[in-house]
Amino acid sequence: MNLGRGRARRPDDWPSSHVRARSDLSDRLDGALDPGEASWLASHLEACPDCRAIADAYAAQHLELRALRDSSPLPPRDLWARTAAAIEAEARFRDGRARSSGWRKPRSLAPSIVITAALVVAVAAGTLTSSWWSGRGGDARSSAVTALGPEPSTAGPASAVAGATPIPAPRKIAYVSRDPEGTYSIKTKNVDRVCPKAATNPCDDGGATTDHPVSLDQNPSTVFGSADNKRLIVVSDPSAANSGTISVVPIASDAPESSAPPSASASSATASSTPSGGPTATPVRSPSVVPASPKPTPTPSAGTGSPSPSVEVTPQPGGTIEIAHDVILVGQSAAYSPTGNWFAFTARPVDGSVGPDIFVWKVGSRVANPVTTDHRSVFGSWSGEALVGSTVVEITKSAGPGLEPVSYLLDPATVIRTDLPQTGQAWRPAVDPSGRLAVYWAGTVRATAAPGFAPDAGRLVLGDWGTGDSAPSNAPAPTVLKSDQTNARHETTIAAGRVEDWDARWDGSGTHLAVWIADSQNAAVGSLSLYAVDSFNGKIDLKKPLLDREPALAGYAISDGQLIWAEPDATGSATGSQIKLLAWTADGVGAVDAVTGPVIVIR
Amino acid sequence: MVGALDSRIGVSRGFGGRAAVTGAWEQDAAAGFVEELFAAHHNEIYAYLIRMLRDPELAADLTQDAFIKAYRNYNVLEKPENARAWLYQIAHRVALDHIRRQKIIRFLPWTGESHGSAPSTERLVMDAHLSGDLQRALARIPERQRAALLLAEIHDLTGLELAAALGVSHVAARALLTRARESLRQALAAERQVDADAEAASDAAAAAASDRRSGTAR
């Protein structure tokens, strides 16, 4: 035992040398005696027979006490039952009411009578922290928006909430709506309050809606907002004529999109490959890339029919730039990096010639670049400013050949790839902001009819990602994790059996995790759950979701304090009937139906 | 990474670091956490309390009190790795509070059943079971010294944990341990002297009886 070094006592501090000797003898039993004091003690014992007797007595009683460790009395068996009952009683007392176990109010699929031409696309408003998106900026538009209450994190009087009283939760939901003429406009829906779980009657969100015109030239299927509120990333509807494009649309008509954020150090690779000279720039892969396939494909200049998706720069009217075309977005994992400097997504050529690769777009550049060339890579998530991707390798098992996932870290600036064999079988990991936990597919994958991959045998789990304080990237000499991955990584099952697709995301602070799991029959719809990281022990209790398998369309937005999703309509089509908001504040958690109408919620 | 993790687990984030558990969601989190703590540590906390108080029934009650206090003060603990020492600190305070109340009660007129003020049946059984020089000697030394010795020698708390559990600086914890070892040495010596005296007295009585028997026979 190390008791630490106390204030060193000078020899004349001691009432007597015998007192000093007893202190030393005690410290010695705890292993806390420094060498100088030990030699003093030795010479003192030499000269003091009484002190030697005391030393023997201390040693003997030390052994006797230690022997008591072996005879620990066992507590009564009902001790937990008693304690739990007392805690429950106290919780009820503090709560002022009996707690119900579930909070979902009776659900009736909202009648989808309003099949109007209004296509509403909700945008990830979650990370929006300034300007008119969130109504807290100082520009002219924010003043046009209904006055807001205090900021979400400091919402409302803490003591005012009890029972079914609505929880003050000033939030904004930004979404894109299309009118019958096909003109898109961004709307923001203000939400002033949400209803706690105990609410039996729907409560009014108290908010107003504001329009912000914006011009989109194509049918969007997926829209991503950005943290700085300056642009949308619009993925075109694959079924529409102008299909297979991913475009960046500046949205701040009063604040034109500026050039790339000044992060010179991070911009080298992409900047060199995409000179701002013009639309004919040919992306050149960084020589430092570690090819994941035996045949790294030199990225050709753009052209239809190219084996790799084209990334030719195509400036669009109205400031829109097309960062990729002839591609289909794969999976649900596309995301901005934590700093907002990069946007990563998985895509494959629309002609189906090859499988998926990971692309990154550096904010401010004019093109998205593929950072893998093996045509079997998918983007998982960001881990800091490195992206976590997964590829698949052939394995031979007793049952026959199969495909096993391997994950890696990839620096978008240098395209340097670091394999993570120590993470075992982990496909598409969604790593939390601390790098400590991840949601991933633990198992094998299979090839799909369209060139790509889907989960095969295994489970969707929440498991350890980093090891202790260090992320896998920092681990020296990674070793392949083969034995008992389930226990080694403390994996707990989120979903098992047939999982067609999923989308797991953490909020910015890493305190909440949302997991959407696709329906096995219709991958456009699924169920969405929200879990809280225990602020005390850092663990997640999957048995205690804040949102429990709510029906939701693919694509949702999670950010600090809020989760936004769309409820599917009765037909299970790709358009939903409502945008829903779940907000968590210091006062509790509540939900509200925010926008009604045919909606497609994306991120 | 470490900093991010710490701030994430810290009370400043998420639940706002408020002093008490109030919202239903926090209560769920707190109850869940206490359940985990209980599963991991209730045996040793109970063992510590029974060693401090030598009363199984009382130790069970105070173990329950300690975990309820942990639940109430869920938000006070900032780092989960300190949970064990924190629990010991709570149990230590619970035990000392009880001992202090007991001392007060001893000066009050007895008005009825007052739990813990008189040795329970179980306690008497325990004493019979565990009695020995060491147990009696431990019972004789001041309770803070006893706590320090039990925590250090039997419950294996390391320096800073020991100090935290005792609610003192680690220099003070070391000094407490030094005094405790000396107190125990003297108490053990006294117990053994009592034993020796009793043995001698019993020997003397036996000898006297033997003398009487021989006397009557004579």
**Best residue of A28, A62, A197, A535 to probe chain B, by most B CBs closer than 10 Å:** A535
Contacts of A546 in chain B (CB under 8 A): 25
| Average confidence (pLDDT) over B40-58 | 91
Total residues found in chain A within this entry: 603
From chain A residues 202-221, the ones with a CB under 8 A of any chain B CB are: none
- Under 8 Å between Cβ of A356 and A347: yes
Q: Which chain A residue is nearest to residue B59, measuring alpha carbons?
A: A75
> How distant is the Cα of B101 from the closest Cα of chain A, in angstroms?
22
Contacts of A68 in chain B (CB under 8 A): 51, 134, 153-154
Residue A576's pLDDT band (boundaries 50, 70, 90)?
low
From chain A residues 397-416, the ones with a CB under 8 A of any chain B CB are: none
Contacts of A99 in chain B (CB under 8 A): 24, 27
State ipTM.
0.77
- Under 8 Å between Cβ of A387 and A266: no
Contacts of B71 in chain A (CB under 8 A): 87, 90
Taking phi first (over 0 means left), then psi (-120 to 50 degrees means alpha), and beta for anything else, what does residue A306 get? beta
Adjacent-strand bridge partners of A224: A233
Contacts of B154 in chain A (CB under 8 A): 65-66, 68-69
| Contact: B178, A79; criterion CB under 8 Å | no
A86's enclosing H/E stretch is helix A79-95
Which pLDDT value is given to residue B118? 47
Q: How far is CA A588 from the centre of its chain?
A: 21
- Of the listed ranges A243-257, A454-468, B41-55, the one predicted with least confidence: A243-257
| Contact: B152, A99; criterion CB under 8 Å | no
How many whole angstroms separate alpha carbon B148 and alpha carbon B164?
11
Residue A231's pLDDT band (boundaries 50, 70, 90)?
confident
| Contact: A466, B162; criterion CB under 8 Å | no
Q: How far is CA A453 from the centre of its chain?
A: 22
Taking only Cα atoms into account, the Rg of chain B, rounded to an integer number of angstroms, comes to: 23
- Of the listed ranges A61-65, A106-110, A169-173, A297-301, the one predicted with least confidence: A106-110
Q: Which chain B residue is nearest to residue A77, measuring alpha carbons?
A: B60
pLDDT, tens digit, for every residue of B124-135? 445 444 457 888
* Residue B166, both tokens: 């005792």
Which pLDDT value is given to residue A472? 44
**Best residue of B154, B188, B191, B193 to probe chain A, by most A CBs closer than 10 Å:** B154
Contacts of B83 in chain A (CB under 8 A): 537
* Residue B169, both tokens: 């600086």
> How distant is the Cα of B200 from the closest Cα of chain A, in angstroms?
23
Q: Which chain A residue is nearest to residue B130, measuring alpha carbons?
A: A71
| Contact: A95, B24; criterion CB under 8 Å | yes
| Contact: A94, B27; criterion CB under 8 Å | yes
How many whole angstroms separate alpha carbon A399 and alpha carbon B207?
87
- Does residue A297 or residue A54 have the better pLDDT? A54
Instruction: Give the percent of chain A with pLDDT over 70.
Output: 60
| Average confidence (pLDDT) over B111-123 | 43
Cβ of residue A101 closer than 8 Å to a chain B Cβ: no
pLDDT, tens digit, for every residue of A46-98? 999 999 999 999 999 999 898 888 777 888 888 888 888 888 877 776 655 43
How many whole angstroms separate alpha carbon A225 and alpha carbon B62?
55
Instruction: Give the percent of chain A with pLDDT over 90.
Output: 11
Which pLDDT value is given to residue A400? 64
Measure Cα distances from A208 to A144, A172, A173, A187, A576 in Å.
Answer: 11, 10, 11, 10, 21
The candidate with the shortest Cα–Cα distance to A546, out of B29, B35, B30, B11, is B29
Whether pLDDT at B87 is above 90: yes
pLDDT, tens digit, for every residue of A137-154? 333 322 222 222 333 333
| Contact: B158, A469; criterion CB under 8 Å | no
DSSP for A11-51, written as a single string:
GGGSS-HHHHHHHHHHHHHTT---HHHHHHHHHHHHH-HHH
* Residue A426, both tokens: 């982990």
Residue A256's pLDDT band (boundaries 50, 70, 90)?
very low
How many whole angstroms separate alpha carbon A57 and alpha carbon A69?
19
Range of A36-40, A286-290, A310-314, B204-208 with top mean pLDDT: A36-40
- Under 8 Å between Cβ of A600 and A575: yes
Whether pLDDT at A351 is above 50: yes
Contacts of B170 in chain A (CB under 8 A): 3-4, 6
| Average confidence (pLDDT) over A33-41 | 90
- Does residue B65 or residue A90 have the better pLDDT? B65
Contacts of A62 in chain B (CB under 8 A): 153
Counting beta carbons within 10 angstroms of the beta carbon of residue A477, is it exposed (0 to 12), middle (13 to 18) or buried (19 or more)? exposed
| Contact: A80, B38; criterion CB under 8 Å | yes
Cβ of residue A13 closer than 8 Å to a chain B Cβ: no
| Contact: A75, B46; criterion CB under 8 Å | yes
Contacts of A65 in chain B (CB under 8 A): 134, 149-150, 153-154
Q: Give first-to-last CA distance, chain A, whole Å.
A: 53
pLDDT, tens digit, for every residue of A367-424? 888 888 888 999 999 988 889 999 988 877 666 677 888 888 888 888 888 888 777 7
- Under 8 Å between Cβ of A421 and A478: yes
The candidate with the shortest Cα–Cα distance to A445, out of A462, A427, A460, A470, is A427
Residue A180's pLDDT band (boundaries 50, 70, 90)?
low
Cβ of residue A9 closer than 8 Å to a chain B Cβ: no
DSSP for chain B, written as a single string:
-HHHHHHHHSTTSSSTT-SS--SHHHHHHHHHHHHHHHHHHHHHHHHHHHHHH--HHHHHHHHHHHHHHHHHTTTT---GGGHHHHHHHHHHHHHHHHHHHHHHHHTSPP-S--TTTS--HHHHHHHHHH-SHHHHHHHHS-HHHHHHHIIIIIS---HHHHHHHHTS-HHHHHHHHHHHHHHHHHHHHHHHHHHHHHHHHHHHHHHHHHHHHHHHH-
- Does residue A160 or residue A251 have the better pLDDT? A251
- Does residue A291 or residue A50 have the better pLDDT? A50
What is the overall mean pLDDT for chain A? Answer: 69
How many whole angstroms separate alpha carbon A363 and alpha carbon A343?
7
A406's enclosing H/E stretch is strand A400-410
| Contact: B56, A73; criterion CB under 8 Å | yes
Query: Shortest CB distance from A3 goes to which of B170, B181, B184?
Result: B170
Q: Which residues contact B162 (CB under 8 A, 6 or more apart)?
A: A1, A3, B85, B148, B151, B152, B170, B173, B177
- Does residue A136 or residue B151 have the better pLDDT? B151
Which pLDDT value is given to residue A450? 78
Which pLDDT value is given to residue A238? 63
CB atoms within 10 A of CB A339: 14
* Interface contacts A/B by beta carbons within 8 Å: 212
Which pLDDT value is given to residue B178? 95
Cβ of residue A72 closer than 8 Å to a chain B Cβ: yes
How many whole angstroms separate alpha carbon B184 and alpha carbon B132?
13
Confidence (pTM): 0.49
| Average confidence (pLDDT) over B179-186 | 95
Which pLDDT value is given to residue A117? 34
How many whole angstroms separate alpha carbon B176 and alpha carbon A230?
64
- Under 8 Å between Cβ of A247 and A234: yes
| Contact: A532, B14; criterion CB under 8 Å | yes
Residue A483's pLDDT band (boundaries 50, 70, 90)?
low
| Contact: A57, B185; criterion CB under 8 Å | yes
Contacts of B38 in chain A (CB under 8 A): 80, 83
Q: Which residues contact A284 (CB under 8 A, 6 or more apart)?
A: A272, A273, A299
How many whole angstroms separate alpha carbon B6 and alpha carbon B10?
6
